């Protein structure tokens, strides 16, 4: 646990991950309830202070990492499904002004997180002792070190993706997307009347193709932009039709 807290303190300090760490190591239930209400300037600062104090305490007692028992292959799925981080993020919360995009971001983050947990299970299995091989042979230690690095990198990526999902929940758009007031014009606003129908058909074809592909957050955002442009072109096309 000491190593996990150190990784959090030295990394991106994902708020929800920190709450889980405090839930497992902290003793103040009132603070825990406060942290679970969501991030604020105060709760972020207090969470960091509490985990730093816990880390210092664990260092002073020279806590040794618990020895990992061999994990049967049949248990690998349990490690993933019982992981608390996705459960915490899937508590009933307001998905914000763009639920479709938020859900795509959460799905992307959960996928990376589960992959990291799969590697974590593989790491534990590779440390299994048996009657034929020494698990601490230099070549096996080197093999485990590579897996461990991938686990840390995967966990860091998942943490960044959860932060991205939180940004979408609050703002309704991806971090790299311009704000609505900066993107109020469409590339189709000034299209000549004789080209409207052709552009509308092309846009619909592209949109239908995207619907069949995996729904990444970036693709969902692009599809939403297409939907807006299709609506504009449809309105413009109807306005060009002669009235009976």
122-167 per-position pLDDT tens digit: 887 776 655 455 666 676 667 777 888 888 888 889 989 999 999 9
| 9 pLDDT higher than 90 | no
50-64, 85-99, 151-165: range with highest mean pLDDT: 151-165
| 9-31 mean pLDDT | 80
The mean predicted confidence, pLDDT, of the chain is: 78
How many whole angstroms from its chain centre is CA 6?
21
| 83-97 mean pLDDT | 61
- Of the listed ranges 14-23, 64-73, 124-133, the one predicted with least confidence: 64-73
Q: Which residue has the higher pLDDT, 131 or 22?
A: 22
pLDDT band of residue 184 (cuts 50, 70, 90) is low
Give domain limits for the chain: 1-66, 68-176, 185-240
The per-residue pLDDT for 177 is 83
| 44 pLDDT higher than 50 | yes
| 81 pLDDT higher than 60 | no
| 197-224 mean pLDDT | 91
107 in Cβ contact with 38 (< 8 Å): no
Count CB-CB contacts under 10 A for residue 142: 9
The per-residue pLDDT for 26 is 83
- Of the listed ranges 17-21, 105-109, 200-204, the one predicted with least confidence: 17-21
| 90 pLDDT higher than 70 | no
Share of the chain above pLDDT 70, in %: 76
Is pTM, for the whole model, over 0.95?
no
The per-residue pLDDT for 172 is 92
């Amino acid at each position: 646990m000491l190593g996990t807290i150190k990784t959090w303190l030295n990394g991106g300090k994902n708020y929800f991950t920190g709450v889980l760490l405090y839930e497992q190591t902290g003793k103040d239930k009132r603070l825990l309830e406060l942290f679970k209400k969501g991030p604020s300037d105060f709760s972020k600062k207090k969470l960091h202070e509490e985990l730093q104090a816990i880390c210092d305490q664990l260092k002073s007692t020279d806590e040794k990492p618990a020895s990992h028992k061999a994990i049967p292959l049949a248990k690998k799925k349990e490690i993933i499904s019982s992981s608390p981080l996705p459960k915490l993020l899937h508590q009933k919360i307001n998905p914000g002004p763009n639920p479709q995009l938020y859900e795509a971001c959460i799905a992307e983050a959960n996928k990376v997180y589960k992959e990291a947990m799969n590697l974590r299970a593989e790491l534990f299995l590779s440390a299994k002792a048996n009657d034929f091989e020494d698990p601490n042979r230099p070549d096996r230690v080197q093999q485990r070190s590579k897996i461990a690095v991938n686990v840390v990198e995967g966990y860091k990526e998942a943490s960044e993706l959860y932060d991205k999902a939180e940004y979408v929940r609050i703002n309704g758009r991806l971090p790299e997307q311009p704000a609505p007031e900066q993107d109020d014009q469409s590339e189709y606003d000034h299209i000549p009347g004789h080209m409207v129908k052709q552009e509308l058909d092309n846009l619909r074809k592209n949109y239908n193709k995207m619907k069949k592909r995996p729904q990444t957050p970036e693709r969902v955002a692009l599809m939403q932009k297409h939907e807006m442009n299709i609506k504009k072109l449809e309105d413009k096309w109807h306005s060009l039709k002669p009235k009976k």
